[in-house]
Every structure is written in C-alpha cells, then in structure tokens.
Amino acid sequence: MMTQYKQAISQYRQRVFSFAYYSLRAREDAEDITQDVFIRLWQHWQKIDHDRIGAWLMRVAHNSVVDHLRRNRHEQQRVDLPDTLEEAVAVEDPGLESEQFRGALESAISSLADPHRSIVIMRDIQGLSYQEIEQTLNLSQSQVKVYLHRARRQLRENRSLRELAIEHNLTGAGEERGRPTETEQGHGAGVNRINTEGISHADQ
Amino acid sequence: MQTNNSSQCQLFQLHIDAYLDDELEPSRVTEFNTHLAGCESCRRELAYAEQLHRAVVSLPILDCSDSALEPVDRLFRAGGTAVTDNMAPVHGTGSGFRAALAALLDAIPAPVRIGVPVAAVLLLAVGVGRQLPAPGGDPGLAVQPAGTATQPQYTEAEVVKAMQDLELALDYLGQVSARTEVLIEDRFLHRQLRESINASLSTDLNHDPQATGSDGPI
C-alpha cells in the first residue's frame, strides 16, 4: 500500500498541480490543492478503484478548484495578469514579448468558464485522452468535444490575445518552450499540422 | 477577429477546430480545402487558430515544490494513524484530547454551547430543590399541603446519594463551562484585541516616519 501510494504521488503530482495552477494561476493555492488532493487519496485509499486513480485524483482536483474559485471569486478577478494591448505593445524585449503572450494566454485560459477551462487544460495542455476527461468530469465524449471546441473558439475570440499575437508576430510562440512530457503522453497526435503559409490539407 | 459575410466562411470558422483535429468527414474537408484555396480571410483565421493551438499545447507541465508535499510525507511516515492531528491542526494548538474537544465544541453553535449547560444547571437546581425538605425541617415531618397526594418520602441515604450525584453533575458542567469560557475568551476577546492593537500599531507606524522599530506588533 505504501509503495503504491508513493508511486501514485510521483506519477500524478505534476498532473494535479498543473491542473490547479492553470485553473487558478496562483502557485500557493495550487500547491494547497495538490496537498489536499493527496491527503484525500490517502484517506480514501481503501475505497477507490486503483485502476482509475488518475481520474479520481483529477476529479478531486477539479472539485477543489471549483470550490476554491467559488470561495475566492472576487480575489480571482484581481489576480489576472494585465493583458491590455497598451501594456503589451510597451514591451520591447522579444523574450518578454513571449512571456507576455504566455501570461495573457494563461490568463485567458483561467478566465474561461468551467467545464471549458478544465477541458482545455486537461486536453490541450496536459494531453489527457478523451476517455480520461470523460471519467473525470462525468461527461460523454461528444460533450467533451463540444466544450473543447467552444473553449478554443472563445480563446480565439479573445481580442487582447489576438491583438497581442498579431502585434508581436508570435507565430510558434510556444515552440520556444519544450514539453518534456508531451511525447510520453502522445499528445497532439490527432491534430493536423498546417503550414501557416499555405494549406496542408489542400495537398492531401 | 476578421469578419466575413460569406456563409461558407462562417461555416468554416465554426468547424475550424474539428478541421484541425481531423474530425471532419472527408467530403467536408475537401469542401473546406476548396474554400480555403480562394479565401485569404479564412486562411489567416486557420493560421491563427493553429498558432494559438500550438501555443496552448506548448504550455509546460508544471510541478509543485517538494515542500508542498511535506505534510503528505509526514502523513505517509506516520502511517496515516493520526490524519487530523498531523494534517489539519485544530486552531494550531496542541493535539489529542484537547484538540478533539476544541473541535467538538467548535462544531456546536455558541448559543447552544453556552445555553445548554446553563439550562441544565438551572433544571437540576430546581429539580433537586423541590425534592429537598424545607430548611431546618425534619424530612419525616414535612407538612403536606391539604388536598394533595402524599409525596414519597426519601431516606437520608437516598438524599445523600442524590446530593453526591448532583455534585458530580455540577462538577462536570463546571469543567465544560470553564473550557467553553477559555475558548470563547481566546477566540473572541484575546485574539480580536491582539489584532486590533496590532492594526493600530501598524497604522501609527505607517503614519509616523519617526517611529522606531521598538514598537513592533504584539
């Protein structure tokens, strides 16, 4: 039991923490939630289905995040990074531009309503399978896809984000940062790779 | 966002994520590809959608600090035998029976916490007072009011036993009351007073640039 519990912590701590962090954009709160989630895992160890620990943990994390946001609704509105166009164009360092874009992107994600926010984080950032997301949020696969597409559309329609990206020509902004766990998770396998100068689909 | 009145543009932009995820039927993909070949606006929208998607999937997977999981490690080392004491200290003071009692008392609303013991003491006092003989009188010679049924008579041993029980009950209630009093005093009086004084001192220090550091918070 002890070994399994330890393994579960090392296997899922990043997933739980990342989910909480991108939902709240507050490191300390995310750490508190991570701690709470693993304590609950210990407390419910005998009762849970050990084949679905990941989904169980993410469900607990999701519930904790929702509770936290409900309790701190007003404070949450304050912690969003300023991402107005005026502030964005004032940045001259290309590295900072990327950071600024990333901050604005994180802010836009965290400001999405649930379950859009959770699904974008789980699917696009963490690379979870549709099945894992279904189990976690108790939704059907078609619902997950609909919410995911709506969430992405909302991100695209975020005016500040769009203007920031265009203003600084941040094409491939995310490519500067590696994602060591991406390959392990087989993330993005189903995503078409499109030549931004043209249209790859036209050649298929 | 670029606007385009073409219904084909609207249709494409509605399905742009399904297009990127390769979830469209082949006939629809062909239709969109044909449209894209002649529509600069949709090509730009597609490029932006892909760029944004790449940015999102490239956000790093983060990890919490080890110190955040230290309490979990403590729990793990303790074998999970004292979850409450290790992980969720009650008011940050002590553990075991005292913490458990404090938690128990905390769970009871204040009016009930104070009112019930007081009411119990009063009831006991009234009840026992009615059973006891009049001061100075002989229990065996108590005069019964006319027209009432004869009250049962108690032996001296029974009265002594009742008094002992009463003393025990009063002693127990006294302990509970004292504990409640300490908790209330600490929570509602001392703490608030301390915070109030600290706030006043902080305000004074902020307003007085000449103030020295000797008057720190309590």
Closest CA in chain B for residue A21: B62
Domain boundary among A79, A107, A131: A79
Closest CA in chain A for residue B67: A31
CB-based contact, B55 to chain A, within 8 Å: yes
- What's the CA gap between B184 and A38, in Å, rounded? 34
The pLDDT, as a whole number, for residue A23 is 95
The pLDDT tens digits of the residues spanning A69-111 come to: 988 876 555 444 444 434 433 444 445 567 888 899 999 999 9
Would you say residue A45 lies in a domain?
Answer: yes
Q: How far is A67 from chain B (nearest CA, A)?
A: 18
The pLDDT, as a whole number, for residue A25 is 92
CB-based contact, B50 to chain A, within 8 Å: yes
Q: Is the ipTM of this complex over 0.90?
A: no
The pLDDT, as a whole number, for residue A89 is 38
Q: Of A148, A153, A173, which has the smallest distance from its Cβ to B55's Cβ?
A: A173
Would you say residue A195 lies in a domain?
Answer: no
Query: Hey, which of A141-145, A161-165, B187-191 has the most confident mean pLDDT?
Result: A141-145
Average pLDDT over residues B61-79: 83
Q: Are residues A106 and A128 in the same domain?
A: yes
How does the average pLDDT of chain A come out, rounded? 77
Q: Of A17, A176, A190, which has the smallest distance from its Cβ to B62's Cβ?
A: A17
Q: Are residues A94 and A161 in the same domain?
A: yes
Would you say residue A198 lies in a domain?
Answer: no
Amino acid making up residue B155: T
- What's the CA gap between B199 and B147, in Å, rounded? 70
The answer, yes or no, to whether residue A27 has pLDDT greater than 80, is yes
Query: Hey, which of A59-63, A197-201, B27-31, B71-75 has the most confident mean pLDDT?
Result: A59-63
CB-based contact, B49 to chain A, within 8 Å: yes
Q: Are residues A36 and A94 in the same domain?
A: no
Average pLDDT over residues B51-74: 89
Using the beta-carbon criterion (under 8 Å), do A155 and B52 form an inter-chain contact? yes
Chain A CB contacts of B72 below 8 Å = 9, 35, 38-39, 42
DSSP summary character for residue B12 = H
Query: How many separate domains does chain A show?
Result: 2
The pLDDT tens digits of the residues spanning A151-170 come to: 999 999 998 888 888 777 65
CB-based contact, A75 to chain B, within 8 Å: no
CB-based contact, A30 to chain B, within 8 Å: yes
The pLDDT, as a whole number, for residue A204 is 34
The pLDDT, as a whole number, for residue B205 is 62
The pLDDT, as a whole number, for residue B178 is 76
Domain boundaries, chain B: 7-57, 108-134+153-218
Lowest-confidence range among A80-89, B5-14, B204-213?
A80-89
Using the beta-carbon criterion (under 8 Å), do A6 and B76 form an inter-chain contact? yes
Chain B CB contacts of A161 below 8 Å = 52
Q: How confident is the model at residue A175 (pLDDT cuts 50, 70, 90)?
A: very low
The CATH number linked to A117 is 1.10.10.10
Would you say residue A104 lies in a domain?
Answer: yes
CA contacts within 13 A on the Cβ side of B207: 6
Lowest-confidence range among A40-44, A114-118, B3-7, B90-94?
B90-94
Chain A CB contacts of B20 below 8 Å = 191-192, 194
How does the average pLDDT of chain B come out, rounded? 72
Q: How far is A90 from chain B (nearest CA, A)?
A: 21
Share of chain A above pLDDT 70, in %: 70
The pLDDT, as a whole number, for residue A66 is 94
Cα angle value A31/A32/A35 (rounded, 5°): 85
Q: Are residues A33 and A71 in the same domain?
A: yes
The pLDDT, as a whole number, for residue B160 is 87
Share of chain A above pLDDT 90, in %: 52
Q: Are residues A170 and A87 in the same domain?
A: yes
SS3 A57: helix
Would you say residue A201 lies in a domain?
Answer: no
Average pLDDT over residues B104-131: 73
The pLDDT, as a whole number, for residue A60 is 95
The CATH number linked to A68 is 1.10.1740.10
Would you say residue A62 lies in a domain?
Answer: yes
Domain boundary among A45, A79, A113: A79
Using the beta-carbon criterion (under 8 Å), do B21 and A192 form an inter-chain contact? yes
Q: Are residues A98 and A39 in the same domain?
A: no
Query: Hey, which of A70-84, A115-129, B84-98 has the most confident mean pLDDT?
Result: A115-129
SS3 A99: helix
Please report which residue ranges of chain B form alpha helices under DSSP H.
Answer: 7-14, 16-20, 26-37, 40-57, 70-77, 83-87, 96-107, 110-131, 156-184, 191-207
DSSP summary character for residue B149 = P
The answer, yes or no, to whether residue A48 has pLDDT greater than 80, is yes
The pLDDT, as a whole number, for residue A82 is 42
Amino acid making up residue B163: M
Q: Are residues A49 and A94 in the same domain?
A: no
Q: Are residues A118 and A162 in the same domain?
A: yes
Q: How confident is the model at residue B189 (pLDDT cuts 50, 70, 90)?
A: low
Range of the domain at A105: 82-174
Would you say residue A183 lies in a domain?
Answer: no
More confident residue, A180 or B18: B18
